[in-house]
Amino acid sequence: MSGEKGILYVVATPLGNLADMSRRAMDVLAAADVIAAEDTRLSGRMLAHLGINGGRLVSLHEHNEKVRVRGLVDQLLDGRNVALISDAGTPLISDPGYRLVNAAVAAGVRVSPIPGPSALVAALSVAGLPTDRFVFEGFPPPKQGARSKFFHALREEERTLVFYESCHRIQMSIEDMIEAFGGERQAVIARELTKHYEQIERGTLKELAQWLDTDEDRLRGEFVVILAGAERSAVSAESSYLAHLLDVLVSELPTRQAADLAARISGAPRQHLYREAQRRRQALETRTSRS
Ligand code: SAM
C-alpha cells in the first residue's frame, strides 16, 4: 500500500447533449484509474464518443452499491483515483453513489466534485418561478395512495418545489397535484432538457394537464416538474380553517375520530391532524378544568 490515498471524483455528465461535457470532466475521466458507472454499457458508449478509453469501467448501481463500496474504498486507500459517474447528470441526485461517498469520507479519502449538468438545476434556471429558496423532492411515490399523501403533506410549503417524474406517471402525478394543490397553482413542466425535443411549458396545473392531454408525444421522455410554493396568505387561511375544523370536531368527538373526519373533509395528512387534535383536546381539557 502506498502512503498517498487516491481521490474520489464525483463527475457530472450530460443530460442528453454530449457537448455539455466539461473539459475538466473529460480530463478526470481520461486520467482516472477506475470509473464507477451506473450502467457500464451506456457509459462505455458515451466514453467512446468522447474518445476516452472505457477499459477501466466497473459497475456501481442501486443493487450492487453496498457490496462494491468496500472494494472501491480499498482501491482509493491504495492510492488509485476513482471517478464516479451516473447515466446522466450529477451522481447522487436521485442516482447511486451516496454509500460510496459516505464510505470514502469515513475512510478519510478526499472526495472532489466535478460539477456540471443536473436536471433539477437546469429546469429551475428556466422555470421563471422564485429560485431564492426551493426544495427538491425527487420522485413522488409510484403508488397513487402514497403519492397523494406525499403531495398533501407539501400543501403548505412556501418554497418553490422541484420533482422528478417518469413518462409512465407524469399525467397521474399532475392529476394528483391538482387534487392536492388546486388546479390554479402555477407550475412548469421541463421535458427532455438539452435534447432535440426539449420543451418547457409554463401555466397553471390545470393548463399543464390539458397540455399533456393534447399530444401523445408530450408524454414521452424525461420530466422535471416545478411547482410554485404556497402563498403565505393561502397558508394562513388554510391553517386557520383547519384549526377551526379541529376545534369543532374535538369538542364533539373522541380525538381519533375527530382527526379521521378532519382528514376526510380537508384531505390534509391524518397523522398531522391527529397530533393537532391531541394538542387541542389537552387545551380544551385544561380550559374546562379551570372553569
Ligand atoms: N442525476 C440526474 C440529475 O442530476 O439530474 C437525475 C437522475 S434521475 C434517475 C432521472 C430523472 O431526472 C428523470 O426521470 C427526470 O425526472 C430527470 N431528468 C434527467 N434528464 C432529464 C432531461 N434531459 N430533461 C428532463 N428531466 C430529466
Chain segment 117-127, per-residue pLDDT in tens? 999 999 999 99
Average pLDDT over residues 68-92: 98
Mean pLDDT of 55-81: 96
DSSP 202-265: EEEHHHHHHHHHT-GGGGSS-EEEEEPPPPHHHHHHHHHHHHHHHHHHHHHS-HHHHHHHHHHH
Cα gap 251→248, rounded to integer Å = 5
Q: What is the distance between the alpha carbons of residues 254 and 35, in angstroms, rounded to a whole number?
A: 60
For residue 54, the model assigns a pLDDT of 86
Average pLDDT over residues 30-39: 97
Enclosing H/E stretch for 36: strand 34-37
* Mutation probe of ligand 1 site: the residue of 224, 225, 226 with most atoms within 8 A of C-beta: 224
Q: Measured between alpha carbons, how far is 200 from 130 in angstroms, rounded to an integer? A: 16
Cell 378544568 sits on residue: 289
Confidence of residue 9 (pLDDT cuts 50, 70, 90): very high
Count Cα atoms within 13 angstroms, Cβ side, for 190. 23
Average pLDDT rounded to a whole number, residues 257-275? 88
- pLDDT the model gives residue 24: 98
Q: In ligand 1, which atom is closest to the CA atom of 86?
A: 1
Fold of 120-230: 3.30.950
Confidence of residue 2 (pLDDT cuts 50, 70, 90): low
108 CA from centroid of ligand 1 (Å): 31
Percent of the chain with pLDDT over 70: 98
Mean pLDDT of the chain, nearest integer: 94
* Residue 194 three-state SS: coil
**Strand, helix or coil for residue 49:** helix
What is the reported pTM? 0.83
Which cell numbers in the block locate residue 97?
453513489
Decide which of 206 and 2 is more confident. Answer: 206
Residue to substitute in 11, 21, 94 for testing ligand 1 pocket (most ligand atoms within 8 angstroms of CB)? 94
Task: Point out the least confidently predicted range of 3-7, 119-123, 166-170.
Answer: 3-7
Q: How far does the centroid of ligand 1 lie from the alpha carbon of residue 280, in Å?
A: 43
In whole angstroms, give the CA distance from residue 138 to residue 135: 9
CB 90 less than 6 A from any atom of ligand 1: yes
Q: Which has the minimum average pLDDT: 197-201, 226-230, 233-237? A: 233-237
pLDDT of residue 56: 94
* Structural domain spans, the chain: 7-117, 120-230, 233-290
Percent of the chain topping pLDDT 90: 83
Gap between the Cα atoms of 37 and 24, Å rounded: 18
Let me know if domain 7-117 sits in CATH 3.40.190.10: no
